[in-house]
Amino acid sequence: MKSLSSKEGFLHRFVGFSESFPDQIAIKYLDAEEQTVTYRQLRNMAQGCNGVLKALDVVPGDNVALVLPNSVAFIAYYLAIIGRGAVPVILNHKLTPFEMSNVIGLAGPTLVVTTAALAVQHSELFHPDSGIRHTLVLEVGDEPAAALPAHATAVAQVPHEAEPLMLPEDNPVVSVQFTYRGLGKPLAVAHRYLDLTQSSDGLHEQFHLQGVGSVHLVTLPLYAIFGLSVMMVFPLSIGATLLMTNTLLNRDLAEVLSEHQVSFACLVPDVIRYFNTRLAKRKGALLPMHPKLMVYSGGSHLPADEAEKLGKLLGCNAVLQGYGLTESMPVIVQSSIGQVHRGAMGRAISGVDLRVVDAEGRDVARGRIGELLIRGSMVIDGYLDADDANARFWRDGWFHTGDLVWQNEDGHVFFYCQRLRISKIKAQMVDLTEIESIALKHPGVTRAKAYIVPDNKEVNVLHLCVEGSADLTQNAIATLLSRYLSGFKLPRTIEIIALKEVAHAS
């Protein structure tokens, strides 16, 4: 893995801001009666969390799983794990026990940091028999008290003292996350300290100047690399304020942006469509926004008309596209300073090279469609313990994304479609092979085919066709799928028919 020439990454910068701007607000949490946390307080909280980790015998190099919703506690423990020299394994807290067992088995954490409800839900997995020495239970939000499993420990029961954060040296792993590539199984991705910092720096080159006093709206899940890097690492490394909420859909977006003078916000396409519908019904004059408010879209492709519509309804510039992968962190973004190209995802940030190639690996001419290949210091060298996948997707130093795109004469990249058997539903990765493999667990199913069809609003909709015995029912298949898979992976329609070999868009 290539590294930066500078040895000071985002934790160095965060600690620096906690000393030079100690009273600057680091986090404003709207869901807890507008709880505010200064940079000094956040550093003190992280040092307290580090003391807890020390008391539980966490040592440098240990894998520590974070299974938490977006919260102040998530951020404090993430900083503490890095400041302990351990490795954060960041997991989607909404996974089913089946899905969780797959990623826990790959990650091999010695400690899990989670909530009481999740400790109970996954009690058979978060257990010493799985190699997990401790399950640390935090008080997060308004979660009701629950009887903890015998092997779980409430944080209040751990005697500890605050422990200073150890600043990373060189370029250690500071995040392990998971993705899918159409192989029917999760793949582990490790991100490194200076590379994650460089990715954030490259993004900043495309933005209006952000820093102390700027306010960033945080709504994307921090367990995903896009949320982690753009919504947490980036603002904390420049002294900005994170305006956090998990209840944005219950709020008036215009009021939130105006009241708190948000300067940067990133939303997923489905949320943008939702607020376009709501804001179109809003009465009265436009509310005053930050004069340089930038709204970005990430997670999946956003049609240009939806991007322009939100800008008009808010009284700001059109929403700008961004593009990234778990394997690469945000890679290309639409410049907010230069000329805007309608519908473009953007150009490569500093430190990233890209190519658009045909099926034989030859570069195509501008305006022609081909597969996007990328390389750079923030692009990982390969998946952990997955030689077959690495041989398939990394060749001659280039990562093959599976995305078909085209470039205009100015080098701006436009999305065409996804070539692999993966897609995004509600900005969450869906592996079609995984869904089919679960359907085939039913004894009456002999074949299964999952596919994506965009609806009339260009929103991806998941469908499943199965072939099986005469007594097979849609309810039986739906019940089976819901037992194993998260809600966003469940198909909208299930057809029980004799399958034909028909190519479907995915």
Give the three-class secondary structure for 424. strand
pLDDT tens profile 302-325: 888 999 999 999 999 889 888 889
pLDDT tens profile 352-370: 999 999 999 999 999 999 9
DSSP state of 487: G
Nearest to 475, CA basis, from 466, 228, 96: 466
Whether the per-residue pLDDT at 476 is higher than 60: the answer is yes
DSSP-assigned beta bridge partners for residue 272: none
Residue 502 has a pLDDT of 45
Three state DSSP letters for 249-302? HHCCHHHHHHHCCCCEEEECHHHHHHHHHHHHCCCCCCCCCCCCCEEEECCCCC
Residue 22 has a pLDDT of 98
Q: Looking up tokens 């008290």, which residue turns up? A: 145
Residue 501 has a pLDDT of 47
What average pLDDT does range 168-181 have in this prediction?
96
Whether the per-residue pLDDT at 391 is higher than 70: the answer is yes
Dihedral (Cα; 91, 97, 103, 107), 10-degree rounding: 80
Residue 201 has a pLDDT of 86
Kindly report the average pLDDT of the chain as a whole number: 91
CB neighbour class for 330 (10 Å; exposed up to 12, middle 13-18, buried from 19): buried
DSSP state of 442: S
- Structural domains in the chain, CATH included, are 10-190 (3.40.50.980), 247-418 (3.40.50.12780), 422-496 (3.30.300.30)
pLDDT band at 427 (very low <50, low <70, confident <90, very high): confident
Higher pLDDT, 340 or 502: 340
Residue 499 has a pLDDT of 44
Q: Are strands 398-407 and 413-418 parallel, antiparallel or unpaired?
A: antiparallel
Whether the per-residue pLDDT at 500 is higher than 60: the answer is no
The DSSP H or E segment spanning 56 is none
DSSP-assigned beta bridge partners for residue 113: 66, 136
pLDDT band at 146 (very low <50, low <70, confident <90, very high): low
Higher pLDDT, 338 or 83: 83
pLDDT tens profile 239-295: 999 999 999 999 999 999 999 999 999 999 999 999 999 999 999 899 999 999 999
Q: Looking up tokens 């904390």, which residue turns up? A: 236
What average pLDDT does range 444-463 have in this prediction?
87
End-to-end CA distance of the chain, in Å?
Answer: 32
Tally Cβ neighbours within 10 Å of residue 75: 25
Residue 273 has a pLDDT of 93
Q: Of how many residues is the chain composed? A: 506
Please state which of the ranges 46-55, 97-106, 207-216, 456-465 shows the lowest mean pLDDT. Answer: 456-465
One-letter amino acid of 150 = A
Residue 142 has a pLDDT of 57
Q: How far apart are CA 360 and CA 367, in angstroms?
A: 18
Residue 143 has a pLDDT of 59
Residue 3 has a pLDDT of 40
DSSP state of 365: P
